[in-house]
Structure 1
């Protein structure tokens, strides 16, 4: 479908892979994209290594409409995301004059605007800045790649800035129902319903209910409200016909 817009996420950072830092960005971005009609298709996590960043970025940016990256645009030696992305696109990278001017206004004491902080002003040639009055060091967009900070609060602010400029598709609609049945008891009939309604996505999610018994939530998704309603009606009819002893 031409109106389906897709995305991938590339999380960059040794600290994520080591477990020292717990990622808080993937879930936020996934929900954000779903709400604006962009389908998140893949998430990759790579270390602070140029070859790995470039390989993952090239794979994702040629496969999906957009790629969102988080992490690696800070002031330290291992913040190499901007350089790696410049190499992936085959462009140069230099201190952006607009960012440098903002830094000079912010850091007026001698020695504050050091080499480390100036690293955050290095932007690949041709990239569009993602910044606001409350964001000192910007992210940027180059091609179909949106490069953002790893700090959740800053990343979320950058999402608010950049997403109004992105193409979005038809939103995925969803409806859920509590099965009051174990997942294994409804797997067969649920598969039959899924096969009969190919333009919907039906998921089952087991949980332990308030009586500490195994239970299941069923979620039906579709871009077409009529097809969603038809599949959900079939699910509810199936559940109503169950005669289970729990």
Structure 2
């Protein structure tokens, strides 16, 4: 039987072959640029609201950092390279990340056994890593490790989709499951990111229409969640 992590390695390799030469995730693609900028705006508002507006001295770890694009965003947000850390399962993706971020600490490791001490980080990130994992026990182990390495007053920032019916290699994660993964925590949810198939159709012609549709939230496919320890006020926006 194929281990889910082995399946994940194979799927990422196949995905890279399928997308070779494609601009689907390039910022030159109007739809990708729209989704990227909208997500950044939402993340910056969340960080400010949670008291993390100044990242210059905050220690940040991304679980499933891939090629380093999200960590690069956080440097643009004001985080110092020496305070940024990334973990990924796939060595070739980390190699590309190290080219992009030569001064950032990047480690190839299984996120179920993170090589960091308890309460090491002010902010722990996960951007669409959990939805790529189909094994519930692995997801639970990852969430437990994220909580372990998070400072008592730290922030977990979650960005992942709850619905993606077109991709059988992923599994959307709804709010009830996120709550179960992070018990005894305060979670605040926002539904963001206009459904990519809709955005890809409309963005080349009208960003205003995309803005209007995204503001309705009924067509949004991702949750942006702030997760804090030991507070039981669960709120959905």
- TM-score, shorter chain, exceeding 0.5: no
TM-score interval for Structure 1 and Structure 2 normalised by the shorter chain: 0.3 to 0.5
TM-score (norm: length of structure 1):
0.33
Answer with 1 or 2: which has the greater Rg.
Answer: 1
Higher strand proportion (structure 1 or 2): 1
TM-score normalised by L of structure 2: 0.33
